[in-house]
């Protein structure tokens, strides 16, 4: 089963400060970095990336701990998987590719990395798009029973003593398919080749451990970083997109929340659940392209 990306996308592994970041690059024009979420890889963008590559240089990256990127042992405090560390990886990746300033588009965990990247490296980020998230700090501060049910994995994955690692490791394919199909609202179905790649990558015990560390960091060191930046807004233009059927779309006034974190904001819902780039690729790509093109003309 072939990987669902056109041959124009060339794969490389870049040394980002001792962490190998796997990426695929294609296109020509203003650079844009696309970041995936949990429990996926860069292939979430396999529909959208070719459309953006017609007038942008598109970089698809596997986050540290995911896909075919390096999976450092989590270590004490899970600082190796803080969004600050993951964001630095991506700045080093883009610099190694020759891009000191670029747009960032992130879905799910990738959006949280993008948010941190824009705060820690404002000179590098020309524009930021965040897909189907509200900021981590807001999500935890307003968590209620509905959040605990809808986002139970946020709490399960932070459990200590190797509990989630052991349970997920018993049947990682079931976990991935169950998580993803539960948050798919119709539209374009998941590509079987992409799903097979998600399963292949996530079945690695090191990937399972890394992803749990990612969520543990979100509940600890990431919140410390976010609290230290309370009141700061992203300098770059921000586009927020969300699924009209997703938990985010049904439980938050997404634009109102992001107004507290972005000074130049726009956004709207998309006819999808959580996986916008796969469920509604044409609409998602068109909205991203309009936003990125507009930002290129302005800055």
**Residue 92 forms part of a structural domain:** yes
Nearest one of 36, 68, 16 to 207, comparing CA atoms: 68
pLDDT of residue 299: 54
> Which is it for the CA torsion 247, 252, 256, 261, positive or negative?
negative
Q: CB neighbours (10 Å) of residue 26?
A: 20
CA 15 vs. chain centroid, Å, equals 20
CATH number assigned to the domain comprising residue 16: 3.40.50.1820
Instruction: Give the tens place of pLDDT for each residue, 77-134.
Output: 889 999 999 999 999 999 999 999 999 999 999 999 999 999 999 999 999 999 999 9
The range of the structural domain enclosing residue 43 comes to 10-298
**How many CB atoms neighbour CB 275 within 10 A?**
26
| Burial of residue 94, with CB atoms counted within 10 A of its CB: 0-12 exposed, 13-18 middle, 19 or more buried | buried
pLDDT for 224 equals 97
**What is the reported pLDDT for 297?**
65
- Within a domain: residue 5? no
281-295 pLDDT, tens digit per residue, is 999 999 999 999 988
Tell me if 225 sits within 8 A of 215, measured CB to CB.
no
Determine if residue 232 is left, alpha or beta; phi over 0 gives left, psi from -120 to 50 gives alpha, anything else beta.
beta
Residue 49 in any domain: the answer is: yes
User: Which residues, in sequence order, are CB contacts of 160 under 8 Å at separation 6+?
Assistant: none
Looking at residue 296, what is its pLDDT? 72
- The three-state secondary structure class of 4 is coil
- The pLDDT of residue 298 is 64
Report the alpha-carbon distance of residue 116 to residue 29 in Å, rounded: 25
The answer as to whether 79 is a domain residue is: yes
> Among residues 78, 89, 108, 273, which one is catalytic?
108
Q: Is 274 a catalytic residue?
A: yes
Within a domain: residue 2?
Answer: no
Known catalytic residue at 108 = yes
Question: How far, in Å, CA of 35 to CA of 41, rounded?
Answer: 8
Count of structural domains, the chain? 1
1 lies in a domain? no
Q: How many CA atoms lie within 13 A of 162 on its CB side?
A: 5
Low-confidence ranges of the chain (pLDDT < 70): 1-2, 297-299
Look at residue 4 and tell me if it is in a domain. no
CB 35 within 8 A of CB 63: yes
The answer to whether position 122 is within a domain reads yes
Q: How many CB atoms lie within 10 A of CB 253?
A: 9
């Amino acid at each position: 089963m072939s990987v669902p990306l056109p041959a124009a996308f060339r794969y490389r592994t870049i040394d980002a400060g001792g962490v190998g970041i796997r990426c695929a690059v294609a296109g020509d024009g203003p650079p844009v970095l696309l970041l995936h979420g949990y429990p996926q890889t860069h292939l979430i963008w396999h529909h959208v990336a070719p459309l953006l590559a017609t007038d942008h240089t598109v970089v698809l990256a596997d986050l540290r701990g995911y896909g075919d990127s390096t999976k450092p042992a989590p270590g004490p405090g899970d600082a190796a998987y803080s969004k600050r560390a993951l964001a630095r990886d991506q700045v080093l990746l883009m610099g190694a590719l020759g891009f000191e300033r670029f747009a960032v588009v992130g879905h799910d965990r990738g959006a949280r990395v993008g948010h941190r990247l824009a705060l820690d490296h404002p000179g590098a980020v020309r524009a930021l798009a965040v897909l189907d998230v509200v900021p981590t700090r807001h999500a935890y501060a307003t968590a209620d029973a509905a959040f605990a049910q809808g986002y139970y994995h946020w709490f399960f994955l932070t459990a200590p003593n190797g509990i989630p690692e052991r349970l997920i490791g018993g049947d990682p394919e079931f976990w991935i398919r169950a998580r993803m199909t539960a948050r798919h609202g119709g539209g374009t179905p998941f590509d079987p080749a992409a799903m097979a790649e998600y399963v292949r990558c996530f079945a690695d015990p090191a990937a399972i451990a890394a992803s749990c560390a990612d969520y543990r960091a979100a509940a600890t060191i990431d919140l410390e970083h976010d609290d230290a930046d309370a009141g700061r807004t992203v300098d770059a233009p921000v586009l927020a997109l969300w699924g009209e059927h997703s938990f985010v779309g049904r439980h938050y006034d997404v634009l109102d929340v992001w107004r507290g974190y972005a000074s130049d904001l726009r956004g709207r819902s998309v006819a999808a659940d959580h996986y916008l780039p796969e469920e509604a690729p044409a609409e998602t790509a068109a909205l991203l392209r309009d936003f990125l093109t507009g930002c290129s003309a302005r800055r």
